[in-house]
Structure 1
Amino acid sequence: MIPPVANRFVAGETAAEAIEYARRLDEDDLEPMLNLLGSHHRERSSVRADAAAYRALVDDLGTLEGDAAISVKPTQLGLDVDESLFRTTLAGIVSRADDRDVFVWLDMEEHGTVEPTLAAAIDLADEYGAVGVCLQADLYRTLEDLERVAGTAASVRLVKGGAYARPEAIAHTDDARMDEAYRRLLEAAFKRVDDGLAVATHDPAMIGHARELARRHDTDFEIQMLMGVRPDAQRRLARKHDVAQFVPYGDRWKRWVINRGKRNVGFAARAVGETVLPGGRVS
């Protein structure tokens, strides 16, 4: 059982718990985007096990009303073992998801995984359609990657940066420059991407900037946020925009919760307060 506070950020240890949580999101007009926690598998047996879990998850998500998605990590699907294994494993999941009308997002991991992740997303999106890939604004290469993806069937999720340390030679490493890079990436994306654009941020200023760009270019976009972070804001935004919530689950939850606490100290502290003093709300 996941303890209080931690269950603010993780839907449960089992797929059944995650699906039940996803059903409840519909009450707030939020779309679920489920992720089985885990990455960097180096054994083929672990890759096969998580791939089977994702295929079963897709079957369950296909029974829900409304839109649903999964978000997968390439190293979870075999990229650290062999790129061909990753391609084959991912294709099996995407094919099943296509049959069940479930969208598949590819997370972006360390900078060394960018090229095979982009190539797989583009190829599978051209074949199946409902596939998207994450682009990280902190990497210097990302504006060029956006140009490459924008001319394909792949959807695009824009984030400020990844969860991994970056050398200064390839990425912005301070917050001000990352914010500037993210603004440039948003501006370029709204010019180049006609459909399938997701803005993944909890930053109100960046969401406001995206909304202004959407008005300027007369286009739609989806807002994506993490489970447990600014839930009130997610519900408010869902009244006017498509909002998807990234919902992690699985027995590898401890590392995820610790990382969320480190990266979202203020939100985590308020979540603790709400657990001790029930009735509070995070804005």
Structure 2
Amino acid sequence: MLPPIASRFVAGESPAAALDHARALDERDVSVILNRLGEHYDERGPAEDDAAAYRDLIEEIANTDVDACISIKPSQLGLDMGADTFRELLTDLVDHAADRGVFVWIDMEDHTTTDVTLDIYEELARTHDGGVGLCVQANLKRTRDDVERLADVPGKIRFVKGAYDEPAAVAYTDKARVDEAYRDLLEYAFEHFDGGIAVGSHDPEMIDLAKRLHDEHGTDFEIQMLMGVREAAQFELAADGYEVWQYAPYGGKWLSYFWRRVRERKENLLFALRAVVGR
């Protein structure tokens, strides 16, 4: 059973609990991206198990009126075992989702996986004329070239600053430089993309920039934030008429994800401490 201390950041251990969370957010005009926790499998069995669980979740989403989609990690669907395994499992999942009108996001992991993830995303996005999205990371020095490559690919791109501790040879390590790269990517996307822009950021400065770029270019966009982080802002943005999606993980492998969120921000740590001491 998921302890209350983790329930701020994790939408339950079961798909039913995750869908209940999605229904509750629907009432506040916030849609949900559901991610089953799990990654870095080095055996095929666990990857197939998660793929099957996602297939079942897709059926649940398709058979309800909840506004939700799914997001997967490449290593969750076998990338650590090779590109062929990842391509096989992801293609089957995206085909299944496309038949049922459910959108699939592909998260991006560390820089060693970027090429294969980009290639398979482009294949699937062109095959299905959209219906699939990809995360790109502003801290990687290569990302501007990748985004230019993807400008005419149907589908969506989620822009994030990057959460992996990458080497300086391939990534910007200074926060100000990462912010500069993120602004540059948004400016390029709003000018050259025909919609399909997801601003994956809790940074008010970047969200305000996206609003200004939308006003300037008329390009549609959505805002994506994590469950448990700046939720009041999520509801305020939705109330102001912006399309807001909350990334909500669920499942039994919640502990490492929960502590990652706690370590990231001082206010998350304070929340956890208050929950422990009952104040």
TM-score by length of 2: 0.95
Structure-2 separation of matches of 1:244 and 1:272? 28
**Structure 2, gaps ≥5 residues long:** none
Moved more, 266-275 or 181-190: 266-275
1:6-30 alpha-carbon deviations (Å, 9 max, x no partner): 1100011111111111111111101
Which amino acid is the alignment partner of residue 119 of structure 1?
D
Structure-1 separation of matches of 2:168 and 2:268? 28
Q: Is the 8 A contact 2:31 2:244 kept in 1?
A: yes
Between the two proteins, what is the percent identity of the paired residues? Answer: 49
Q: Is the 8 A contact 1:230 1:267 kept in 2?
A: no
Aligned position for 1:281:
none
Task: Give the number of equivalent residue pairs.
Answer: 277
Structure-1 separation of matches of 2:146 and 2:245? 24
Aligned position for 1:225:
225
Structure-2 separation of matches of 1:200 and 1:106? 13
Q: CA deviation at 1:194?
A: 1.1
Does residue 110 of structure 1 match 2:117? no
Aligned position for 2:215:
215
Q: Describe the shift of the 1:274–1:46 C-alpha distance in structure 2 as closer, same or farther (beyond 3 A).
A: closer
Q: Is the 8 A contact 1:225 1:244 kept in 2?
A: yes
Structure-1 separation of matches of 2:77 and 2:266? 30
Aligned position for 1:182:
182
Q: Is the 8 A contact 2:40 2:76 kept in 1?
A: yes
Does residue 243 of structure 1 match 2:239? no
Q: CA deviation at 1:268?
A: 4.1
Structure-1 separation of matches of 2:234 and 2:269? 16
Structure-1 separation of matches of 2:265 and 2:38? 20
Structure-2 separation of matches of 1:177 and 1:92? 39
Does residue 152 of structure 1 match 2:153? yes
1:65-107 alpha-carbon deviations (Å, 9 max, x no partner): 2532100000110111021111010011111111221110000
* 1:71 partner SS: strand
**Structure 1, gaps ≥5 residues long:** 279-283
Alignment of 1:47-66 (within 5 A): 47-65=47-65
Structure-2 separation of matches of 1:237 and 1:212? 14
Q: CA deviation at 1:256?
A: 0.3
Q: Is the 8 A contact 1:139 1:170 kept in 2?
A: yes
* 2:247 partner SS: strand
* 2:121 partner SS: helix
RMSD between superposed Cα atoms in Å: 1.5
Structure-2 separation of matches of 1:96 and 1:275? 42
Q: Is the 8 A contact 2:23 2:66 kept in 1?
A: no
Structure-2 separation of matches of 1:79 and 1:241? 35
Aligned position for 1:131:
132
